[in-house]
Chains A and B, each alone.
Chain A
Amino acid sequence: MNLKLTRRHFLEASWKGSLLAGGCFFSGVALPASSALELEAKSTDSPLDPKLTDLLRAAMDEIIPAVDGMPSASAVGGVHYLEKLARSEPHIKKLLERSLRALDDISRQEFKNGFLEVQTQERIEVIKRLEKQGPAEIFGDLRDYIYESYYTQPQVWKLIGYDFHPTNHAGPIMKPFDEAALSNVKKMGKLYREVS
């Protein structure tokens, strides 16, 4: 039996192992306790209205939920990331506010209650409605910023097997080019047109 682990095997093993590891759990996925507590801490100077911050947290956890052994968006600091972004980029703050208010409006129209007051299944319906009724960018902006908040997190990278390979550190190990790969092509005759 070959016991040598490739980088990917190692990462997959680590990911599976994390389900059993100690620390603070978010729907079955372990993060170091200190990291989790830090991420959970609410910012005291959020650029968003407190209700919109709660709405953002609720919406992002439907868009990237904690399933399949992966943490939800808020569990990896999504709210904090987008608060920070909204603080530095006022136009992004406006886009987020527009999308979140649209969610709340649809929820009230459809279910007579705001987005925060309805249950998960209804929230999913509300988001589907926003996605379907458009304009496309109102849903698209919200989804894309939430995706950004998630896939810029090193703790997520570890779970999906992505190595960042920072500059000035060793890059990935790759097999050198082997000319034998071209052996069939080398048997072909000249393939370009000559001109006078």
Chain B
Amino acid sequence: MARNKADVLIIGSGPAGAAVTKRLTDLGAKVVCLEQGDWVKPSEYPSTREDWEIQHRRGLFHFSPNVRKRPEDYPVIGAGGNPPNVLMFNAVGGSSIHWTGHFPRFHPSDFRVRTLDGVADDWPIGYQDLEAYYDMNDREMGVAGLAGDPANPQRARRPTPALPLGILGETIGRGFDKLGWHWWVSDNAIISQDYDGRPACDLHKKCMYGCPIGSKASTDVNYWPKALRKGAVLKTWARVREITLNAQGKVRGALYFDRQGNLAEQLASVVVLCGNGVGTPRILLNSKSKYFPHGLANSNGMVGKCFMVHPFRFVEGIFDQPMDGHDGPFGIPAYSQQFYDTDLNRGFVRGYMLMLERSFGPLHHALGSFVGKPAPWGAEHHRTMRRRFPHVIRITPLGEDLPDEKNRVELDPVVKDSNGIPAARVTYTYSENSTKMLEHSLQTSRQALEAAGAIEILDSGIITPAFHLLGTARMGTDPKNSVVNAWHQAHEVKNLFIVDGSSFTTSAAVNPTSTIGALALRCAEGIWERRREWA
């Protein structure tokens, strides 16, 4: 067994693991990262190929690990009233390989949900604690956008200017204006100008399956090259089976399988778990010992509980004029936070964001697009396709989910991954609050699309929960109902830190990646400040 001891061992190389590694390496720590996947060659991205759209249906870049079934993927079983179809990617860069690039921030009120609205819990930190790290993460990732949004606190000038809105952005903007509603051009982690050695986006629009030129931020093209140059060690094809403990019940390192299936142990003074909201509790629950018979840091039974996703639906408006949603950067061109904060007159607590989204190509539209309504076959087929493509604007409402202990990640008693490690089973049911919120969002999406001139509206209904995997090793001040403290330190194991979507106390109603990166940078500095405690 290889036992070179690191100062800090990071598990997972996605948006959290990469940020922690880079920051600690910059500060002078000896860091080793274990990643179960490999580097993805940009030339392998389906976005370079004419058949790129079939990845919606099958292939090595499908969003679901259960469909991809790459050797580095692990199965995820869905259960509950709304069994999730969990989407993630396992590679250097993690799920930043596969994401829209949307980069909004939490609002200050998102950290004070209990105080303001009497539900869920307050975070033990506030917006002001994260603000500098949001800015630092923006600079590292590379962001396009425009400061000055009245729905958010003022922020620093964006690293690159806003991306083009396109015809669809300008059209829906006029619709929002007509209604007197808030809207703003989005921050996206897709650079609009050459930045930090990476080229500007060339607007090809297929980057949801990976950006082959590195304009869309993924941590394999921004954080990792810099961290490696500074001396960080990244071990790929290293799948962690469990985190190990020493005789004092402190973390000693991690046991992992290499590509050949050999078991090795990486020792470290500190371990930081960054495996995402499903992978992280899975590793903790698989790390059973005499000290922690129910899983590491899980004496209170909270590991895996309070799993949150963002409730979504898709609403499409068909317009007489072409909207060219298949052109331009992916990302999110614009959003409205008109319904972000609680208004109990609406029948639910908390709120949602309306995101304007681009779409894929003609095959996607023929198969029913995001709303699951395939073009009819037969005599009407071509007329319908001509009416829909490329005449669609999509609004995606993204709502705040509230923590509920019944929604949880556990170990599946039967299914295992290719190394024989028990798979994750994710149980989830939408709350009444979420369903009411999504019903409201259908009406407001419809209003916005019609105000913009839509001639027909198509709705997906409430979709299967799938992404933004949050809350399963939650941050809190009370060791009875949380797993980590305000510095991401496990309440029960002082040299174990957990930072990724699982650390979220509440979900807010924004995409989580910019917050995950900011939390990770702050966590890294906290670990460095306590370095005298490592020995």
The answer to whether A144 and B112 touch (CB under 8 A), given A177-B165, A181-B170, is: no
Shortest Cβ distance from residue B450 to the other chain A in the assembled complex, whole angstroms: 18
Shortest Cβ distance from residue A103 to the other chain B in the assembled complex, whole angstroms: 13
The answer to whether A189 and B150 touch (CB under 8 A), given A67-B382, A151-B53, A177-B161, is: yes
Task: State whether B377 touches A195 (Cβ < 8 A).
Answer: no
Shortest Cβ distance from residue A144 to the other chain B in the assembled complex, whole angstroms: 6
- The size bracket of the interface on A is 35 or more
CB of A172 closer than 8 Å to a CB of B = yes
CB contacts (< 8 Å) of A45 on chain B: these are none
Whole-angstrom CA separation of A167 from B205 in the bound complex: 10
The answer to whether A64 and B212 touch (CB under 8 A), given A152-B363, A177-B165, A192-B152, is: no
CB contacts (< 8 Å) of A184 on chain B: these are 177
For B327, give its contact among A67, A144, A156, A174 (CB under 8 Å).
A174
CB contacts (< 8 Å) of B77 on chain A: these are none
The answer to whether A193 and B326 touch (CB under 8 A), given A148-B363, A150-B366, A151-B361, is: no
Chain B residue nearest to A178 (CB atoms) is B165
CB of A70 closer than 8 Å to a CB of B = yes
For B378, give its contact among A124, A165, A193 (CB under 8 Å).
A124
Chain B residue nearest to A140 (CB atoms) is B374
Chain A residue nearest to B207 (CB atoms) is A167
CB of B390 closer than 8 Å to a CB of A = yes
Chain A residue nearest to B127 (CB atoms) is A195
The answer to whether A177 and B164 touch (CB under 8 A), given A147-B374, A193-B108, A195-B115, is: yes
Instruction: Count contacts between A and B, CB distance < 8 Å.
Output: 161
Chain A residue nearest to B47 (CB atoms) is A167
For B50, give its contact among A152, A168, A182 (CB under 8 Å).
A152
Whole-angstrom CA separation of A70 from B389 in the bound complex: 15
Whole-angstrom CA separation of A189 from B149 in the bound complex: 10
CB of B182 closer than 8 Å to a CB of A = yes
CB of B386 closer than 8 Å to a CB of A = yes
Most buried by B among A89, A162, A188: A162
**Contact residues, A150-191 vs B (CB, 8 A):** 150-152, 154, 156-157, 160-168, 170-172, 174-179, 181-182, 184-186, 188-191
Task: State whether B341 touches A172 (Cβ < 8 A).
Answer: no
- 1/0 per residue, CB under 8 A from B, across A108-127: the answer is 00000000000000001001
CB of B373 closer than 8 Å to a CB of A = no
Task: State whether B377 touches A172 (Cβ < 8 A).
Answer: no
Task: State whether B327 touches A172 (Cβ < 8 A).
Answer: yes
CB contacts (< 8 Å) of A181 on chain B: these are 165, 169-170, 173, 185
The answer to whether A64 and B377 touch (CB under 8 A), given A70-B382, A177-B165, A181-B165, is: yes
**Contact residues, B168-199 vs A (CB, 8 A):** 169-170, 173, 176-177, 182-185
CB of B415 closer than 8 Å to a CB of A = no
Task: State whether B166 touches A143 (Cβ < 8 A).
Answer: no
Most buried by A among B146, B204, B386: B204
CB of B78 closer than 8 Å to a CB of A = no
Task: State whether A193 touches B54 (Cβ < 8 A).
Answer: no
- 1/0 per residue, CB under 8 A from A, across B315-346: the answer is 00000001010111000000001001100000
Task: State whether A174 touches B203 (Cβ < 8 A).
Answer: yes
Task: State whether B326 touches A162 (Cβ < 8 A).
Answer: yes
For B150, give its contact among A68, A89, A188 (CB under 8 Å).
A188
Shortest Cβ distance from residue B184 to the other chain A in the assembled complex, whole angstroms: 6
**Contact residues, B357-388 vs A (CB, 8 A):** 361-363, 366-367, 374-375, 377-379, 381-383, 385-386
Whole-angstrom CA separation of A135 from B379 in the bound complex: 23
Task: State whether A192 touches B151 (Cβ < 8 A).
Answer: yes
CB of B163 closer than 8 Å to a CB of A = yes
CB of A16 closer than 8 Å to a CB of B = no
CB contacts (< 8 Å) of B183 on chain A: these are 182, 185
CB contacts (< 8 Å) of B44 on chain A: these are none
CB of B116 closer than 8 Å to a CB of A = yes
Number of interface residues of B (CB under 8 A): 70
CB of B51 closer than 8 Å to a CB of A = yes
CB of B479 closer than 8 Å to a CB of A = no
**Contact residues, B412-427 vs A (CB, 8 A):** none
CB contacts (< 8 Å) of A194 on chain B: these are 108
CB contacts (< 8 Å) of B148 on chain A: these are 186
Shortest Cβ distance from residue A171 to the other chain B in the assembled complex, whole angstroms: 4
Task: State whether A162 touches B361 (Cβ < 8 A).
Answer: yes
CB of B80 closer than 8 Å to a CB of A = no
Task: State whether B146 touches A8 (Cβ < 8 A).
Answer: no
**Contact residues, A80-133 vs B (CB, 8 A):** 89, 124, 127
CB of B162 closer than 8 Å to a CB of A = yes
Whole-angstrom CA separation of A62 from B58 in the bound complex: 26
CB of A58 closer than 8 Å to a CB of B = no
- 1/0 per residue, CB under 8 A from A, across B43-55: the answer is 0000110110110
29 contacts between A and B (CB under 8 A): A64-B382, A143-B374, A147-B366, A147-B375, A148-B54, A148-B363, A151-B366, A152-B51, A154-B50, A157-B362, A162-B362, A162-B389, A174-B328, A177-B163, A177-B164, A177-B185, A179-B162, A182-B173, A185-B183, A191-B150, A192-B150, A192-B151, A192-B152, A192-B337, A192-B340, A193-B107, A195-B108, A195-B109, A195-B112
Known: A165-B204, A177-B163. 9 other contacts (CB 8 A): A69-B382, A147-B375, A152-B53, A156-B362, A167-B204, A171-B204, A185-B176, A192-B340, A195-B127
Which B residues are within 8 Å of any A CB, using their own CB? 47-48, 50-51, 53-54, 57-58, 107-109, 111-112, 115-116, 126-127, 146, 148, 150-153, 161-166, 169-170, 173, 176-177, 182-185, 202-206, 212-213, 322, 324, 326-328, 337, 340-341, 361-363, 366-367, 374-375, 377-379, 381-383, 385-386, 389-390
Give the 7 A-B residue pairs with the shortest CB-CB distance, closest first.
A151-B363, A171-B203, A174-B164, A193-B109, A177-B162, A171-B202, A172-B327
